[in-house]
Amino acid sequence: MTNMTNYINFVKAFEQYKLNKSIDPNSVEDSGVSGEEFIENYDTSIPLCKVFEIGDDIKRLLLLTKTPSLDDGEQINLPFDYIFLDIAFTRAELEQAGIDIPKKDTFKSIQGIMFSKGHLYAEKDIDNPNKLPVGNNLRVSAMMTYDDNSIEFNTMNRILWVKDEKMVAIGNERISSKIKKSLGDFVINFVHFLNNPEIEYLARVRDELSNAKRVKRGKMSLPSSDLIRVTGELKRYVDNIASEVHDSFSHRFWVRGHFRTLKNPRFKKNVGKRKWILPYIKGKGILIEKTYSVK
């Protein structure tokens, strides 16, 4: 069970940056935007986030599942405008899941992921106040730690749909690191996962009174959150895997999971749904609706 540790670390590091933007660059860094824009973006996003607490069992399943490609014209709708995942990945976990991180990269861990859906605009219209979107992207931000104890807030943009890639200014983020790509993949898998019929949400309500008690004890206030749990066949699968791997896993012993869209008329009323082929187990899966919004 998680305890919002990653959310706390994420917010504290951001608040530290706000207090002193001239802080030692080996302590906190932001990338890709000016300090003022970075602060404005995070100040707006964090309070609006729907927070989900993710356990190691779900993390493992989603990390080891191949992200599905979208069909022509298909779109992903987020269940909430802003989402924060209270989750952490160590370098070892990513490498064990088959993500090849260069040895020269001093990346150590990810602590907390925040994401939202945005619009893409034609490069020629970028300064036009009446511009219209020509596509959608997924904006994913994460707090990353490194071997020298530095902290970096890193943001990547993942194109979901665009009329013509030549129309938009994608910049260097199109050539993202494998870590950034894995973040985008994980987030898309999570959105698919939210419609799984065998998950339940345990609401953790944190009201003004409970937060006042936290502050009195010298702790930071926390938002309400949902702890996600698996049930039914999926829980039996997860429990079985956990007993087999003894709380460790390696891509050398896993068959990566994936999503399969059912198109053959023989599937009758299930045509158009996606079947989740779980990691390690072949030929078994759980049907989920192809409409991703649960808002």
Q: Does 187 score more than 90 pLDDT?
A: yes
Q: Indicate if the pLDDT at residue 282 is higher than 60.
A: no
- The predicted model scores a pTM of 0.78
Residue 115 lies in a domain: yes
How large is the average pLDDT for residues 260-289?
61
pLDDT at position 278 is 64
Residue 294, pLDDT above cutoff 90? no
What's the structural domain count of the chain?
A: 1
Whether pLDDT at 264 is above 60: yes
Distance from C-alpha of 261 to C-alpha of 8, rounded to nearest angstrom: 38
Provide the pLDDT for residue 168.
57
- Residue 285 has a pLDDT of 47
- What are the DSSP calls for the chain, one per residue? ---SHHHHHHHHHHHHHHH-TTS-TTTEEE-SS-HHHHHHHHHHHGGGPEEEE--HHHHHHHHTEEPPPPPTT-----SSSEEEEEEEEEHHHHHHTT----TT--EEEEEEEEEEEEEEEBGGGTT-TT--EEEEEEEEEEEEEETTS-EEEEEEEEEEEES-GGGB--GGGGS--HHHHHHHHHHHHHHHHTT-TTEEEEEE---HHHHHHHHHTT------EEEEEE-HHHHHHHHHHHHHHTT---GGG-PPEEEEE--SGGGGGGTT-EEEE-SS-SS-EEEE-S-----
pLDDT at residue 248 tops 80: no
Give yes or no for residue 293 having a pLDDT over 70: no
With respect to residue 220, please indicate whether it lies within any of the assigned structural domains: yes
State how far the Cα of 185 lies from the Cα of 181, in Å rounded to an integer.
6
| pLDDT tens digit sequence for 220-231 | 999 999 999 888
- If one compares 278 and 105, the residue with the highest pLDDT of the two is 105
Task: Specify if 139 maps to a domain.
Answer: yes
Q: What is the tens place of the pLDDT at every residue in 3-34? A: 899 999 999 999 988 887 644 444 444 445 56
**161 in a domain, yes or no?**
yes
What residues make up the domain containing 125? 5-288
Share of the chain above pLDDT 70, in %: 72
Q: Is residue 235 part of a domain?
A: yes
Most confident of 117-131, 210-224, 240-254: 210-224
User: Has residue 295 been placed in a domain?
Assistant: no
Q: CA-CA distance, 8 to 26, in Å (whole number)? A: 20
Q: Does 249 have pLDDT greater than 50? A: no
Average pLDDT over residues 86-105: 88
Is the confidence at residue 292, as pLDDT, over 90? no
Instruction: Give the pLDDT confidence score for residue 52 in this predicted structure.
Output: 96
99-158 pLDDT per residue, tens: 888 888 888 999 999 999 887 777 777 677 777 877 788 889 999 999 988 888 888 887
User: Do 2 and 15 contact (CB within 8 A), yes or no?
Assistant: no
